[in-house]
Chain A
Amino acid sequence: MATVNVLILVCLGYVVFLFAVAFAADRMAAAGRGKWLRSPLIYTLSLSIYCTAWTFYGAVGNAARSGLEFVTIYLGPTLVMVSWWWGLRKLVRVGRSQRVTSIADLLSSRYGKSNTLAVCVTILAVLGGTPYIALQLQSITLSFSIFAEADPSGLYREGSSVFWVAAGLAVFAILFGTRNLDVNERHHGVVTAIAVEAVVKLFALIAVGVFVVWGIAGGIAPMMERIDASEIGQWHVDAGRWTTFIFLSAAAFICLPRMFQVMVVENDDESHLRTAAWAFPLYLLLMSLFVVPIAVVGLDLLPEGANPDLFVLTVPLSQGNDWLAMLSFIGGFSSATSMVIVTAMALSTMVSNHVVMPIWLNTQEGTGSVSGDVRNIVLMARRVSIAVVMALGYFYYRLSGGGAALASIGLVAFAGISQILPALVGGLFWRGATRTGALVGLTVGFVLWIYTLLLPGMSGASMPESVLQNGLFGLGWLRPQALFGIEGIDPIVHSVMWSLLLNTIAFCVASLLSFPSPLERLQGAQFVNVFDHSVAPRGWSGSVAQSEDLMIMTQRILGTGPAQEFFQAEAEKQGGRSHLPEPTPAFLGRLERELSGSVGTATAHAMIGQIVGGSSVSVEDLLAVADESAQLLEYSSQLEVKSSELSRTARQLREANAKLTQVSAQKDSFLSQVSHELRTPMTSIRAFSEIMRDAEGLSGDEQTRYATIIHDEALRLTRLLDDLLDLSVLENGQVNLNISDDSLRSLLDRAVSSALAGAGSKISVRRARAAERIVLHTDLDRLGQVFINLISNAQKYCDAEEPVLTISAYDVGGRIIIDFIDNGSGIPPGARSMVFEKFARVGGDKAGGAGLGLAICREIMQRLGGEISYLPGQGGAAFRVSLPLAHRQAAQ
């Protein structure tokens, strides 16, 4: 017979072994090795914390009392796992994409990052979790006591053992649950240790089962006969309890904080769900496979009055199989420890993130930025929370005095935590679910649960007998176990039915009646449509935020290394000019998610808010930001249109300005030219008239010659003035056209002869006279003036050895085109745009006229409804005159 001392040694050895496993797993994960740590198998096994000591021992006890009813506790989770495609997949995706740290955080995040809701859920979870932890402590001490009874030394004392068990579990949870801060970094050590414990408890239960079936009963068939012959050998279940328990266990499986911790928070890979969907039900099946056989054999073998909850231990012991009993004890111990550790971790995360941190942040308010090492504060908060949760469990155990009152607490806790279900499911699938709805539903369910189940179920004076019998304030319909006068229902079924029903109704009605805040609506859309967009559209306006402050804060929360890595990566993402990223909304959103992995959504939101805005950013602020950005978007698109308009206008203005500058320069040069053209002949006239007046002894020849010069220069002056007047008249549109008909040929004949008359005509003119038989209806004198000008220009400027001017005429679609092309070097490209300007003389030479000729030509052609242009690429200087064939007077 194993003594208590041996038992304690075995327990300590087992715990040390778990430490080693957890430590090795953490080391491997940190070193990046050990892919199997993140395998679906580990994930599945970690889910087994669902099977606590209550189910390990209690299932057999339950079977011994009510047959197959125990199986409902396993069937519920099976159905949940099998329907993973519906629910769990979404839950895990939401949890991962929002970096949720706990079930309270999830609800808070979904309902507009409401910390009130998170606090409510935390209180509910702690209230439900504390008795549950007490239950585990009880199971461990009970199993100890079994061995102690047989121990002659009698050293065992119940009270102290419970204390040491609780303290040991707290230390374990603190050591491995709060080593690293970011919950999403995942506790590989703890999860691996839990997986090992899952194997141990399954192995222990199967070992006992195999021993019972084949060792005691002698095979399957005899076992089945024995079952049918036993006192529970006939099918009997209460339909209400059966369905309620299946539903309740399914709900609790989703809502229990520790399940959420392993299923969502510690989840490494969504695809693990696919494996767990069948593997975890298989685990549950194996866990329950031998429950009835053990119960039946225990009922057969053990004396009347033996506690059926401990058959798993007492059956092997009664057969003298100490080692099997020891294994079974370790199995139960595993169940209890793993549950307690994970529960403590999950609850401490909730308490520290939703209760301690907000309070601490409040005390920090006004300092402007976050001071002190937040990282240490969060860790300390968690450690203390774990200790407090364990202490609560311990005191609950001491107060309740252990015993049978605890046995039903498992289902009571399930019913309590299931009050979260409407808000959770509603939040995931219904966008209309609001914070108010969740709060109201939760409160209604919570109150009803306490009133109808928790208080009446507790022993002692937790509820006056009168209330239980006659209802609150003597109102019969308020009797805790017969609400609205409906009696005769099993208390748990009654409580679950009413609390969840009214919870759901209150949740729906309040959701429909209330109006969600914008942030809630944003988050609601994010959650419900998580598969459409896994990126958060949350707006932080980062203009005020100091990247450096954010960096300091992040370092305090994530640690220096990870924080710097994160900021570096963000800076590179933004273009990487400096080592600190700009506080863009996208960056702040990612930072918030990163931080929320450590301190929870609401706290991270508040912390960033403190730096970015000096205080928490309200939902209204966010809405304003959203509105503003929408307006900005529109405004900027308008701006874009405007700016392109502006640049177009600016270009036009520049062009106009260039034109004006040019015109102004032309005006200057025009005046200067006019001055020059006037002064030159006047100089000659003045000089010679003075000579004729002053000089003595002029010969008659000389007198005649000088008088002629004076005369010629006077004529030249007159011509110039005529030209200027002509141009002025043409430009002002005050010209009277003298329209008549003649053929082009005769007009050209006259123009050529008049242009070449006088001057030594060295240029030869080539014409295709046949093509010139076109009758013109226009001002022939003016057109002739243009022709003369062009011909005399060619004569003056053509620099070819044997200058030739080719005049050709066409009739093109109702327009007459006459080209004047010489064989000289032409006009240089830069000067072409200027040739029709006044006084524009190519190369600055002054071969004759005042440089007004082409300007006058252009004006004339405009008056005649035609045009004159320079033809590039013709070899020499080439001008094209075109005018409409049937010219109607254009001017006036």
Chain B
Amino acid sequence: MSDESDKGQPPNVRPSLFLERQSYRRRRLTDAARLLPFLGALLFALPLLWPDKSSGDAAVPLSSAIFYIFVCWGALIVIGLIFGFVARRMRTPEDPDTGAE
């Protein structure tokens, strides 16, 4: 109920195509945000497959490991940051709470 009243604009003011596109994008963005922790878990689990000093092969040097971990970490932060900002910008003209779809 409040969704409708909050929008407050008659549907013919804005082309409906744009509206749909906007909400479509927002939904996909939400999907991406939800997938982010799984991506992170995957990335942080990957080093377990690397050869370490106990195996016969040449172990991965710690500097590379550090580099990998921190780059992944940074990437997660940047994606989270982007999501946060885009979501906020997209949300402002819309209703404040899309709830748990």
Contact = CB atoms under 8 A, between A and B. Distances in A.
Interface of A: 67-68, 71, 75, 78-83, 85-86, 90, 224-225, 227-228, 230, 232-237, 239, 242-243, 246, 271, 274-275, 277-278, 281-282, 285, 289, 292, 531-532
B73 A292 contact: no
- Of the candidates B34, B40, B64, the one having the most CB atoms from chain A within 10 angstroms of its own CB is B40
Nearest to A89: B100
B30 interface: yes
Contacts of B51: 235
18 contacts: A71-B69, A75-B44, A78-B40, A79-B44, A82-B36, A82-B80, A227-B66, A228-B61, A230-B62, A236-B52, A239-B48, A275-B84, A278-B80, A278-B84, A281-B76, A292-B66, A531-B99, A531-B100
B82 to A, nearest CB: 8
B63 interface: yes
B66 A281 contact: no
A113 B80 CA distance: 36
Q: Is the interface of B mostly helix, strand, loop or mixed?
A: helix
A285 B77 contact: yes
B98 to A, nearest CB: 9
A79 B88 CA distance: 21
Contact of B74 (A81, A85, A285): A285
Contacts of A81: 80
A761 to B, nearest CB: 78
Given A234-B52, A236-B54, A228 B84 contact: no
Given A83-B36, A83-B37, A281-B77, A235 B44 contact: no
Nearest to B44: A75
Contact of B50 (A224, A232, A235, A274): A235
B59 to A, nearest CB: 4
Given A274-B88, A285-B74, A67 B62 contact: yes
A72 to B, nearest CB: 8
B65 A235 contact: yes
Contacts of A79: 37, 40-41, 44
Nearest to B41: A79
Contacts of B77: 278, 281-282, 285
A75 B72 CA distance: 11
A275 B88 CA distance: 10
A456 B83 CA distance: 45
Contact of B73 (A75, A234, A235, A237): A75
A246 B61 contact: no
Nearest to B69: A71
A811 to B, nearest CB: 60
Contacts of A278: 77-78, 80-81, 83-84
Contact of A86 (B34, B48, B88): B34
Given A68-B65, A227-B63, A235-B65, A242 B74 contact: no
A96 B65 CA distance: 41
A277 B84 contact: yes
A90 B88 CA distance: 18
B70 interface: yes
A237 B76 contact: no
- In the A-B complex, the 7 residue pairs with the smallest Cβ-Cβ separation, listed nearest first, are A83-B37, A278-B80, A235-B60, A234-B59, A278-B81, A224-B63, A234-B53
A241 B80 CA distance: 27
A613 B48 CA distance: 61
A289 B99 CA distance: 36
A68 B36 contact: no
- Of the candidates A228, A274, A531, the one having the most CB atoms from chain B within 10 angstroms of its own CB is A274
A221 to B, nearest CB: 10
A71 B64 CA distance: 15
B97 interface: yes
Nearest to A282: B77
A80 B44 CA distance: 13
A791 to B, nearest CB: 71
A277 B76 CA distance: 10
Given A232-B62, A235-B53, A85 B70 contact: no
Given A75-B73, A228-B63, A274-B87, A235 B47 contact: yes
B61 A234 contact: yes
Contacts of A275: 84
B91 to A, nearest CB: 9
A230 B61 CA distance: 10
